[in-house]
Amino acid sequence: MESTMQSGQQSAVPICSLIIPTKDKLNFLKPCIESVLASDDSDSIEIIIVDNGSVEVETQQYLQSLSVMLNVRVLSWNKPFNFSAINNFAAEQCRSETLCFLNNDIEIKDPQWLRKLLTVAELDEVGAVGCTLLYPDSSIQHAGIALDEKTIAQHIAVGEASGFLAEQGITLPYPVDAVTAACLVMRKALFLRLGGFNEDQLAVAFNDVDLCLRLADKGLPVLSHPGVELIHHESVSRQSDELPANRKRALKEHAFMQFRWRIRLMGRRFSSGIPDLIRDAALVNEKASTPDVEIARKAADRLYLQDSASRSSSKEMRNMYSTAAALSETQDYFRNLQSDYKSLEAHAERLQHAHALIENSIFWRMTYLLRLLKNAITPDSKKQEAVSEPLTIENSEHATRKVEGQQLEKQKLDSSAKAALDKFLTSAEQLQFSKTETPRISIVLVFYQQAHLSYLCLQSLLEFADVSYELIIVDNNSTDETPRLLHKISNATIIRNTENLGFVKAVNQAGEAAAGEYILLLNNDALIEINTLSNALQVIDKDETVGAVGAKIKLLDGSTQEAGSIIWNDGACLGYGRGKSPDDYEYMFQRDVDYCSGAFLLFRRSSFEALGGFDLDYAPAYYEESDFCIRLQKLGLRIVYVPTSQITHYEFASSGGREGAQKLQAEHQQVLCAKHADFLAERFTNDGSNVLRARTRNNFPNILVIDDRVPYPSLGAGYPRCSNLLFELSKMDLNISFYPLLIPEEKWDDVYKTLPNTIEVILESGHDELQSFLEARKDFYQHVVVSRVHNMEFFNHCLSLDPDLLGDAKIIYDAEAVSAPREILRMEFLGEAMSNEDQAELIDKELQQSKLAEKIVAVSNNEAEIFKGHGYSDTIVLGHTIASNPGSNTFIQRSGLLFVGALRDEGSPNVDSLLWFLINVFPILEQAIPGIKLNVVGDNSAPSLATIGKDNINFTGRLDSIEEMYNASRVFIAPTRFAAGIPHKIHEAAAKGLPSVTTTLLAQQLGWQDGKELLVGDTPEAYAAQCIKLYQEEALWQDIRDAGLTAITEDCSQETFRKNLAGLFT
């Protein structure tokens, strides 16, 4: 818990709040505080000391003495050390509008230090300001921070004499990549809008660098002030990152920074002295005696040019940016929250769905069930481990308590259900079922006592049955209220036995009376939910190889009873997922299983008749459905678990309770072993470590695919290809798991609208849990496919922590695109062309990520040759696949231009190309083609686009379908200046019959010719001329369209894609 020591109260608003975290180390803290108090303006500042659990008596006494001072507050932080969280906590309580983060090992030597820093930090154009820090020997420890792609960040001018900067002619504030939080000054409102330091991923290291880079993303430069020098005893308050205890945390933070800022870090190198760019910028300012505000504005311009990859100096561009910069703070802040929002949104949807099931059910109307099913709304979120937990006394006690809790829930349900039944039986109401001559399903219910549960079951059928059905009830001589209940049922076939024949014989009786194409066995203590029947019927109805389907079965407390079941080689059975949350990803995908419980089992009546019904050797009950499913499989049919069909099950209602059920199960297990020794010999040994392998009833290889996120095709950026890849894999004899590494939070409905429901999608895991996920599934996967270089980097990092993490799994690297050539081009456009040596090193660094891969997948022959040229011979090409589907509109019926692409990130190829087009090309087109319009489709959240408000430019945002756009537009534009991979957008436009104007770069990536499949222009004038020509010349337009459609047929063959994909796993 955090707390505040008693302190004096300061009336006036301080000019700055100094935040100083500490833990003991009085020999450093005391000189720090005394030097602050001795400096100018000390009476006008607020000092907040955050004590992180000091235990030394001297320190505690000193803090107590400070707490009585008017401008000093001492806060307590009694949690583990987290530099980011400590400072965030303190910042929220500061009274000043300006913050100064100061280490407790800083000594102030310049009495005017704070006034100098505040003068710069309070400028609207500045993000943050730091200063020169000196070692106790007066050599420089920090003069700003420069990025380095290997180490992330390096201090500038380390080891140089204190007068080094002045000797270089640098005396004014100068822009740097970052400054250390040992002394960092910035506006409080800006800090809070940014969300503060990243306390989740960067608890100790790099949090200051990350903060400064986020400021730069908003066009707000970070400056270092050479006129302020402080003494810094570096990191005396925490232990080295090289110590074993800290190494794992340090590696994780380093990996996060490498991933989060991979684009900014690419190609950046720094070893010592002052980076040339910083020196040059500083000297230009010195020469002109530039005021601080103008230094900041120049630095902001430099940031913009870097991020937008554009060298345009037009007035329109600068005006656009000036306004966008004012908006970017708010826009980027909300964009930074997008991931958290999606997580909350997905969670809220699950809550709403669960609540709706309760509120719309018969339970709700019984008033009691809201409390009864409260755990169904918020079940235990702990994910099921791949390996069963060992049986311990603690686990045994937990299991006992859980059983006792379930018994209590049953007692509560019994009470409320009996009251509801009594009310119904004394009323004039009837249970009126529909009558049909040709039912699709014959629903079979076997009654024996438990009339109150039977009543609930019948009510759920009346409420949620959504297919044509007949109802067949077999009553095994019930002596409770069941006869009265049966008397109040209309339009059902009721078979009344004079003795209790048991479940097996009763089902066979019902089977003989059934008229439906399918038979559904439903326990009378089960409740169906919305779409339960239709979802199950759809699976078996469309596939003749499916012999039976089962549902996700939930217990009264909302936990899982069964998500498909396993039969071990000793005949024992296990309900997969028992006791876990039914919403965990392991139970959300459809798969073949050994058998499904007879509590809900749907099969063809013809199969039931062919097999002679249930085997009477299992009478009265238990193991009959296991035997039946085995016999179906011996006929070559499959048993399928359908997670979108769900029921809630009382369990053991008619078997004499748990003890009686277990006795019957033990006896019939031996019967099963005697009848199906051949089948059981091929099953897994009854061991918890085999659960993961045994959950799926096939011997197909298990494949793990890792990519950024669920690949919604409308996102572009390689996701259409990933989507198609997963679809094709799902059709093969493979078991597929998909791990979204970057964005792991999605809505389940959206996931399985995009991907086949037979793919296991590992949501809610991401970077944080990849290591533990792979550890839990070691030796489970035969192949791991990793897509995109940044994901491969993180994957390699996990392997570096545990080289044996994958067991014998083979790694396949799907490059998706070789990004180094794109970065080389981007640097050229920035006017920072790389040397041949640096280019070769950059490419080699990227390709090195694939060194552990057995096979490499490239999207084009050009990129495959890059890999092969570096010694990676086992490289195959797997490009895009798309079918031609040209729109029907003719040349005359079409008008306007179309641009498609994600426009989220400043400096990205899409944002750069659109801005270049709008500023340099579109004005020419407006003069040549009066009234010309441009539709821009895709996420357009990049701040630099915010001020484009012309009537003839329409930003549609992301659309689920753009078929109409393709059919209505006359020319597709793709003015991309730097990019990697294959431009799928050109493929898609050509497949829709829309000709394109591109750049030479894209034409080369496609292998298409200017004037044949597309038109090419690289300068503004040439690009505009090609657009005008294609827009106005119908014959040319038709020729380009026809050639593009032909190229799609040749280059994007589904058959070739499928064949090459299958070859990866042979």
Helix (H, G, I), strand (E, B) or coil at 324: helix
pLDDT of residue 85: 94
Least confident among 231-235, 675-679, 723-727, 814-818: 231-235
More confidently predicted of 987 and 8: 987
What pLDDT is recorded for position 374? 38
Which residue matches tokens 């589904």?
1054
**Distance (Å) of CA 772 to CA 398, 766, 769:** 24, 11, 5
pLDDT reading at 504 higher than 50? yes
Interacting residues of 160 by C-beta distance below 8 A, sequence separation 6+: 139, 140, 143, 273
Res 316: pLDDT: 36
DSSP state of 210: H
The per-residue pLDDT for range 642-690, each reduced to its tens digit, is 999 999 998 765 545 556 677 888 889 999 999 999 999 999 999 999 9
The rounded mean pLDDT for the chain is 84
Does residue 9 register a pLDDT over 70?
no
In this structure, how many other beta carbons lie within 10 angstroms of the beta carbon of residue 268? 17
Return the higher-pLDDT residue of 898 and 352: 898
pLDDT band at residue 69, thresholds of 50, 70 and 90? Answer: confident
Q: Who wins on pLDDT, 147 or 827? A: 147
CB burial of residue 1036 (10 Å; 0-12, 13-18, 19+): middle
- Residue 298's pLDDT band, with cuts at 50, 70 and 90, is low
Closest CA to 373 of 403, 345, 406, 344: 406
Backbone conformation region of residue 491, classed left if phi is above 0, alpha if psi is from -120 to 50, else beta: left
Between 1000 and 847, residue with greater pLDDT:
1000
Count of C-beta atoms within a 10 Å radius of residue 400: 10
- Cβ neighbors of 616 (< 8 A, separation 6 or more) are 504, 505, 508
Predicted pLDDT of residue 386: 36
Listed residue (417, 384, 536) closest to 469, CA to CA: 536
Condensed to tens digits (0 to 9), the pLDDT of residues 200-224 reads 889 899 999 999 999 988 888 999 9
Residues 150-170, mean pLDDT to the nearest whole number: 88
Asked if residue 387 has pLDDT above 70, the reply is no
pLDDT tens, residue by residue, 457-466? 999 999 999 9
CA distance 609 to 543: 19
| pLDDT 10s digits, 988-1016 | 999 999 999 999 989 988 889 999 999 99
Pair 358, 369: CB distance under 8 Å: yes
Distance in angstroms (rounded) separating the CA atoms of residues 351 and 367: 19
DSSP class per residue in 70-136: TTEEEEEE-SS--HHHHHHHHHTT--SSEEEEE-TTEEE--TTHHHHHHHHHTSTT-SEEEEEEE-T
How far apart (Å, rounded) are the C-alpha atoms in residues 314 and 613? 82
The pLDDT, as a whole number, for residue 702 is: 96
Cα angle 26-28-34, degrees, rounded to a multiple of 5: 90
pLDDT of residue 402: 55
Cα dist from 581 to 361, 368, 558, whole Å: 21, 22, 7
Please check whether residue 802 is in contact with residue 771, taking contact to mean a CB–CB distance below 8 angstroms: yes
* Backbone φ and ψ of 552, nearest 5°: -75, 125
Provide CB contacts within 8 A for 422, sequence distance 6+.
none
The single-letter code of the amino acid at 154 is: Q
**pLDDT by residue (tens digit) across 417-427?**
888 899 999 99
For residues 946 and 157, give the distance between their C-alpha atoms in angstroms, rounded to a whole number.
39
Sheet of strand 996-998, all strands in order from the earlier edge strand to the far edge: 953-957, 934-937, 897-900, 971-974, 996-998, 1015-1016
Which domains are assigned to the chain?
Answer: 2-308 (3.90.550.10), 394-694 (3.90.550.10), 702-877 (3.40.50.2000), 897-1057 (3.40.50.2000)
Average pLDDT over residues 773-798: 92
Alpha carbon of residue 881 to chain centroid? 25
pTM of the predicted model over 0.85:
no
Give the least confident one: 91-100, 457-466, 830-839: 830-839
**Summary count for the chain: helices (H), strands (E):** 41, 40
- Token look-up 């499916």 returns 546
pLDDT at position 644 is: 96
Please tell me whether residue 649 adopts helix, strand or coil conformation.
strand
Q: What average pLDDT does range 977-993 have in this prediction?
A: 84
What's the pLDDT at 846? 80
Question: Beta-carbon neighbour count of residue 490 at 10 Å?
Answer: 10
Nearest-Å Rg of the Cα atoms of the chain is 35
Per-residue tokens: 997: 């104007």
Peptide bond into 620 cis (omega under 30): yes
pLDDT at 1060: 84
Residues with Cβ within 8 Å of 918's Cβ and at least 6 positions away in sequence, in order, are 948, 953
In angstroms, the CA 450 to CA 481 distance is 8
Q: Of the candidates 860, 898, 909, which has an alpha carbon nearest to the alpha carbon of residue 989?
A: 898
